[in-house]
Structure 1
Amino acid sequence: MRLRNKPWAKDFMAEHPEMLIMDSEGKKSHWAEEFGNPQPIHIEVGTGKGQFIIGMALANPSINYIGIEHFDNVIVSALEKAIEASKPSNLRLLRANGEDLENIFADAEIDRVYLNFSDPWPKTRHEKRRLTHAKFLQKYEGILKPGGEIHFKTDNRSLFEYSLVSMTDYGMKLLSVSLDLHANMPEDNILTEYEEKFSSKGQPIYRLEAEYPIRKKI
């Protein structure tokens, strides 16, 4: 997907440091201080234009949320939506690369990871770029509290099947698996932009919840 250049994005983002963090240096181990409370912290890796993470923050004020996005021209749209939503105090947007999670968050600092409509990277040679590859599962495990969860949604059947195998092979427990989320949609489901688009065309939405094992320290 070609991203439309927004030359005004950087200046606009810099004007709202209370909502959008452009540099995470010094934040590791201090995210509770950033929010000013000890509430659980949930992150979305690849937050896109922010509809999901903003909706979650508004629906669950007792949880802190961080939406992570690498591209300025995308995260600036999430910032605009957050401003329209009156800047929820339990929400932060973070311009960062998902590859760097272990440098952004301390061990066991996060309670849950959301992955929504991630790039499927269908070619075999790109397998390690998939956000449910074992390489990334290890990163998530490092920053999650023991027994932490991943919640994953996609419209891509092949990526979903790959993720089921990848998480199972990693030793994770599948708590919930849906092959057509909207056929019996939970009341608390917050839709992403892609979810609205694909479901309106009759495309099934696949969803899973998986829990990490509590590993004994040697």
Structure 2
Amino acid sequence: MRLRNKPWAEQLIQKYPELISVSPQNMQGQWQQKFAQKQPLELELGAGKGRFIIQKAQQNPQINYVAMEIQTAAIAMILKQQVELRLPNLHLVQANGRDLVNIFAKGEFEKLYLNFSDPWPKKRHTKRRLTAPNFLKQYQTILQTDGMIEFKTDNQALFEYSLQSCNNYGMKFDKISLDLHHSSWAETNIWTEYEEKFSKKGQPIYFLAARF
């Protein structure tokens, strides 16, 4: 879902190059330099307004987080919060998720988060789904050997597709829930903005965690 244009967004992004990388080049294997110290590295692809990744970084100072988002308005909203918080273990990246292997090095991340990705329901758009085999191949490259993907959605069709896609790719499932908020993992779950919106409408939240 696209956000309304924020007139201040571009100027804010240009003002804080130390907090956000825009269309990064030649940074493969060097992302630890963006953080106060070298620590395990995790990535959220499609970070939206940043509620999830900011709370993750606050709760886990021993882990470095990269928040990746293509929409200027959305990434600027995360940046606005980071300008105030200055979390030493969070760095923002504005770039397209189709280019992950050109931005990140092999085995650079321990975990990848996919939260409420665009479902791309039409069959001709299957390859655009973030759990399609062409994306899984990229994730396998940038994740460590035992790296994990965590995926949440309100869209049942996308969840069913994702289960099949991950299974066909040979991934192993650690967790599967058809109603995350009433599962044993609810207590440690961090809600996204969309998650709160959909949950208030009574929609169950689907969740899986899988490894290559």
TM-score (norm 1): 0.93
Matched, 1:106 2:105: yes
Deviation of the 1:157 alpha carbon: 0.4
Deviation of the 1:28 alpha carbon: 1.1
Taking the aligned partners of 2:171 and 2:58, their CA distance within structure 1 comes to 29
CA offsets 1:17-60 (integer angstroms, 9 cap, x no match): 22211241232110122214331110011001111011100000
Code of the residue aligned with 1:179 in structure 2: it is L
What fraction of aligned residue pairs are identical, expressed as a percent? 52
Task: Extract unaligned runs of 5+ from structure 2.
Answer: none
Q: How many residues align?
A: 211
Q: How do residues 1-218 of structure 1 correspond to structure 2 at under 5 angstroms?
A: 1-84=1-84, 86-184=85-183, 185-212=185-212
Task: Extract unaligned runs of 5+ from structure 1.
Answer: 213-218
Larger mean Cα displacement after TM superposition, 163-172 or 9-18: 9-18
Larger mean Cα displacement after TM superposition, 28-37 or 190-199: 28-37
CA offsets 1:111-135 (integer angstroms, 9 cap, x no match): 1110000000000000000000000
Code of the residue aligned with 1:11 in structure 2: it is Q
Change (3 A) 1:74 1:106: same
**Secondary structure of 1:137 counterpart:** helix
Question: What's 1:216 paired with?
Answer: none
Larger mean Cα displacement after TM superposition, 111-120 or 195-204: 195-204
**Secondary structure of 2:29 counterpart:** coil
**Secondary structure of 1:187 counterpart:** helix
CA offsets 1:70-90 (integer angstroms, 9 cap, x no match): 111111111122234x12100
